[in-house]
């Protein structure tokens, strides 16, 4: 992405795949892909490993995407599953950060969930805050691959097929990973297990 | 309310990054895309011991066993692992499994599993570690065998680097052949490539020493960097010397000590595993070079040896001051103990006794 050009083609009618193909000969075009997806990729990474690290890993995600753009295979109209896959691999490099981020959610929720303020009145959010410590405990003990599939599905609203593209696994495997994870989450909601500072349940 | 709804409602959802943040990210991508090579994702330096568990957990290994001595045409003679879940409860158990599988896992001439075995026998409960790597606490036969194969991969990677730098085409060809065999075996025995074997193989095939070196950076405690404390310290010092030269080159090109970031460093030397307090695992784990917080006096770099010594260098335009540090460089939390990834390290004290 030599000189990412913010004013390069940004027409939404151009597909991600077309942009990527064009960027092979005209690297500036990759800037449009960056503009399209940076918010959601940054949001995903931030939620998984925390805001301080998100900036760096988001930039890294696009840098790697640029480097690999010639090998992009347009299995989907959009490039987001591909980008999520790269981002997820980077998240793996920060597993401790992810664990601590999840623990922070549990701790924050344990406080605010008891006393929801005017901005936290939505029933779902209040319920989630109160259940957060147990959810976090369950997430922490999931196999990393299972957790990836579940969070891409639940937090990013990817379809099973898109999760499969992101993680490079068959759709059937996605289904089994998500089902297995959800069983464990549901089981955890029936316990009082709360992780301690080291994530031990 | 179902579990998915509860999960969606967990805290942490944030709005789009602000304009300044986007521009910083854009600048990094621009800088990175100006070089042809992209550094490999950083992985836990303890993958050789701890990360294996994840692979094993997901793998359904064949119960049948077919272990026979390695030959040139059959680089990895393992076809399956009998009783992969069999527990390793003692050092004797570990050594018995290593002895059982050693004939089937080819190492370069002079190679050994000794360093790795010693590490397994003394492995501490490291931050970010896993109980499944510890004797008597989840370690099993499958994990051990996969670990041994990873050791082989690391040592053959180092063999390739040595052969490549010496112009030994026979040596590079042999290493390539063996690693290709490892990759085939891994692919049929584990669903994930957590060891980066494919990346290593690609780099070897492309004749790319930078790419191979990037993979070797995660080979701590595998014996790839020497089997004696002196050899291991020398390896860490070599990494740090190269990193210090890189930092000094940056400063001499009008760079500033405050801006010698991971991105800047990675652009200049992509084969170094640069890290800082925002990255995991703990900074300065063997194989990585830690960029310390700016002290205003120079760029402070740290490289840890497998012996535990933390070598440091304070780099200015004029000089490189070498020493060691005993500062705890573990990633730390904010004062309230809840926030993550905060850069709250004070200046690193690099005792200038040289090395």
Token pair for B225 = 């960097």
**What confidence score (pLDDT) does residue B205 get?**
93
Chain B residues in contact with A27 by the CB 8 A cut-off are: 33
Q: At B75, which helix (H) or strand (E)?
A: none
Mean pLDDT of all residues in B100-114: 92
CA distance B146 to chain A (A): 18
Q: What is the pLDDT of residue B287?
A: 87
List, as ranges, residues 50-79 from B with C-beta within 8 Å of A. 54, 57-58
Strand blocks (E) in chain B: 273-275, 288-291, 299-304, 310-315, 320-324
Among B15, B24, B41, the residue with its CB nearest the CB of A90 is B41
Question: In the predicted model, is pLDDT for residue B21 greater than 70?
Answer: yes
pLDDT on residue B39? 42
At B44 the pLDDT is 43
Residue B239: what pLDDT? Answer: 94
Q: Give me the mean pLDDT over the A42-69 stretch.
A: 88
Interface residue B336 vs chain A (CB under 8 A)? no
CA distance from start to end of chain A: 45
Question: Which of B13 and B149 is assigned the larger pLDDT?
Answer: B149
Distance from the A9 Cα atom to the nearest Cα atom in chain B, whole angstroms? 16
**Range of weakest confidence among A53-67, B38-52, B154-168:** B38-52
Question: b vs e for B325-351, b when ≥16 Cβ sit within 10 Å of the residue's Cβ?
Answer: bebebbbbbeeeebbbbeeebeebebe
3-state per-residue secondary structure call for B119-159? HHHHCCCCCCCCHHHECCEECEHHHHHHHHHHHHHHHHHHH
**Comparing A119 with A44, which gets the higher pLDDT?**
A44
Q: Please determine, for residue B259, whether its predicted confidence score (pLDDT) is greater than 80.
A: yes
CA-based nearest distance B253→chain A, Å: 21
Q: What is the per-residue pLDDT for B190?
A: 62
Q: Looking at residue A122, what is its pLDDT?
A: 59
Report the pLDDT averaged over residues B72-76: 68
Tokens of B99: 């002895």
Minimal Cα–Cα distance from A67 to chain B, Å? Answer: 7
pLDDT band at B278 (very low <50, low <70, confident <90, very high): low
Among B30-34, B125-129, B166-170, top mean pLDDT goes to B166-170
What interface predicted TM-score (ipTM) does this complex get?
Answer: 0.78
pLDDT band at B163 (very low <50, low <70, confident <90, very high): very high
Task: Indicate the burial class of B318 (C-beta count within 10 angstroms; 0-12, 13-18, 19 or more).
Answer: exposed
Tokens of B51: 């990360």
In this prediction, residues B263-282 reach a mean pLDDT of 70
So what's the pLDDT on residue B230? Answer: 96
Quote the pLDDT of residue B323: 95
Using CA atoms, how far apart are residues A39 and A35, in angstroms rounded to an integer?
Answer: 8
Residue contacts between A and B (CB atoms, under 8 Å): 185
Q: How many CA atoms lie less than 13 Å away from B279 in the CB half-sphere?
A: 25
Neighbouring CB atoms inside 10 A of B303's CB total 28
Give the per-residue pLDDT at B162.
95
Beta carbons within 8 Å of B203's beta carbon, 6+ residues apart: B209, B210, B211, B212, B214, B215
What is the mean pLDDT of the segment spanning B234-252?
A: 95
Please state the rounded mean pLDDT for residues B320-327: 91
Distance from CA of B99 to the nearest CA of A (A): 30
More confident residue, B216 or A194: B216
B26 touches chain A (CB under 8 A): yes
Please say if the pLDDT value at position B8 is more than 60: yes
Least confident of A111-115, B58-62, B266-270, B287-291: B58-62
Summarize the confidence of residues B139-160 as an average pLDDT: 90
**Residue found by looking up tokens 């992780």 in the block:** A195
CA angle A180, A183, A188 (to 5 degrees): 130
Cβ–Cβ contact B187 with A under 8 A: no
What does the pLDDT look like over A76-95, one tens digit per residue?
Answer: 568 999 999 999 988 887 77
Q: First and final CA of chain B: distance in angstroms? A: 62
**In this structure, are strands B288-291 and B273-275 parallel, antiparallel, or unpaired?**
parallel
pLDDT surpassing 90 at residue B200: no
Q: Kindly report, residue by residue over A111-123, the tens digit of the pLDDT.
A: 554 444 444 445 6
Indicate the pLDDT class of residue B192, thresholds 50, 70 and 90.
low
For position A189, what pLDDT does the model report?
A: 75
**Nearest beta carbon to residue A2 from set B12, B33, B43:** B33
Percent of chain A with pLDDT over 90: 17
A194, pLDDT greater than 50: no
For residue B35, the model assigns a pLDDT of: 40
Q: Which residues numbered 263-282 in B keep a CB inside 8 Å of some CB on A?
A: 263, 278-281
Mean predicted confidence (pLDDT) in B334-343: 36
Residue B342: CB partners within 8 Å, gap ≥ 6?
A52, B277, B332, B333, B334
Is the pLDDT confidence value at B166 over 80? Answer: yes
Whether A59 sits inside 8 A of B3 (CB atoms) is no
Residue B335 sits at the chain A interface (C-beta within 8 Å): no
Q: What is the DSSP letter of B105?
A: B
* Stretch (H or E) spanning B295: none
In this structure, of A6-20, B230-244, B257-271, B338-352, the range with the lowest mean pLDDT score is B338-352
pLDDT at residue B47, rounded to an integer: 41
Cα dist from A64 to A3, A99, B255, whole Å: 16, 24, 24
For residue A133, what are its two tokens?
A: 């410590």
Q: Is the pTM here over 0.80, yes or no?
A: no
Set of chain A residues whose Cβ sits within 8 Å of the Cβ of B9: 122, 124-125, 127-129
């Amino acid at each position: 992405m030599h000189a990412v050009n913010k004013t390069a083609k940004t027409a939404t009618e151009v597909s991600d795949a077309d942009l990527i193909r064009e960027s092979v000969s005209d690297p500036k075009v990759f800037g449009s892909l960056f503009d399209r997806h940076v918010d959601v990729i940054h949001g995903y990474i931030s939620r998984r490993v925390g805001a301080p690290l998100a900036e760096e890993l988001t930039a890294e995600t696009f840098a790697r995407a640029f480097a690999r753009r010639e090998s992009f295979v347009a299995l989907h109209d959009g490039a987001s599953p591909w980008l999520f896959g790269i981002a997820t691999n980077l998240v793996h490099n920060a597993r401790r950060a992810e664990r601590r981020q999840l623990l922070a959610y549990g701790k924050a929720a344990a406080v605010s969930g008891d006393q929801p303020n005017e901005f936290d009145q939505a029933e779902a959010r209040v319920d989630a805050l109160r259940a957060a410590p147990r959810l976090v405990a369950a997430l922490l003990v999931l196999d990393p691959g299972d957790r990836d599939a579940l969070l891409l599905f639940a937090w990013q609203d990817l379809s099973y097929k898109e999760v499969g593209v992101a993680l490079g696994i068959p759709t059937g495997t996605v289904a089994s990973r998500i089902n297995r994870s959800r069983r464990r989450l549901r089981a955890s909601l029936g316990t009082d297990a709360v992780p301690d500072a080291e994530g031990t349940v | 309310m179902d579990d998915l709804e509860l999960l969606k409602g967990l805290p942490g959802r944030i709005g789009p990054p602000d304009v300044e943040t986007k521009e910083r990210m854009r600048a990094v991508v621009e800088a990175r895309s100006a070089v042809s090579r992209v550094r490999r994702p950083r992985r836990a330096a303890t993958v050789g011991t701890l990360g294996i568990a994840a692979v094993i957990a997901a793998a359904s290994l064949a119960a049948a066993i077919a272990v026979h001595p390695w030959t040139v045409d059959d680089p990895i003679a393992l076809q399956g692992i009998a009783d992969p879940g069999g527990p390793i409860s003692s050092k004797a158990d570990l050594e018995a499994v290593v002895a059982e599988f050693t004939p089937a896992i080819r190492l370069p001439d002079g190679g050994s599993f000794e360093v790795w075995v010693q590490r397994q026998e003394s492995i501490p409960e490291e931050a970010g570690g896993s109980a499944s790597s510890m004797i008597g606490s989840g370690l099993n036969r499958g994990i051990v065998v996969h670990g041994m194969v990873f050791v082989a991969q690391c040592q053959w990677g180092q063999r390739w680097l040595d052969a490549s730098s010496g112009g030994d085409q026979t040596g590079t060809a042999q290493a390539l052949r063996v690693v290709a065999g490892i990759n085939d075996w891994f692919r049929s025995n584990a669903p994930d490539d957590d060891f980066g074997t494919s990346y290593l193989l690609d780099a070897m095939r492309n004749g790319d020493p930078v790419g191979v070196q990037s993979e070797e950076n995660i080979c701590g405690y595998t014996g790839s960097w020497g089997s004696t404390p002196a050899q291991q310290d020398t390896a860490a010092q070599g990494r740090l010397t190269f990193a210090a030269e890189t930092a000094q080159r940056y400063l001499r090109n009008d760079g500033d000590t405050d801006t010698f970031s991971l991105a800047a460093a990675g652009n200049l030397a992509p084969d170094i595993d640069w890290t800082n307090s925002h990255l995991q695992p703990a900074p300065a784990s063997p194989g990585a070079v830690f960029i310390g917080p700016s002290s205003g006096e120079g760029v402070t770099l740290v490289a840890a040896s497998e012996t535990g010594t933390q070598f440091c260098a304070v780099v200015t335009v004029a000089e490189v001051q070498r020493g060691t540090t005993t500062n705890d460089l573990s990633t730390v939390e904010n004062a309230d103990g809840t926030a993550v990834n905060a850069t709250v390290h004070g200046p690193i004290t690099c005792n200038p006794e040289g090395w």
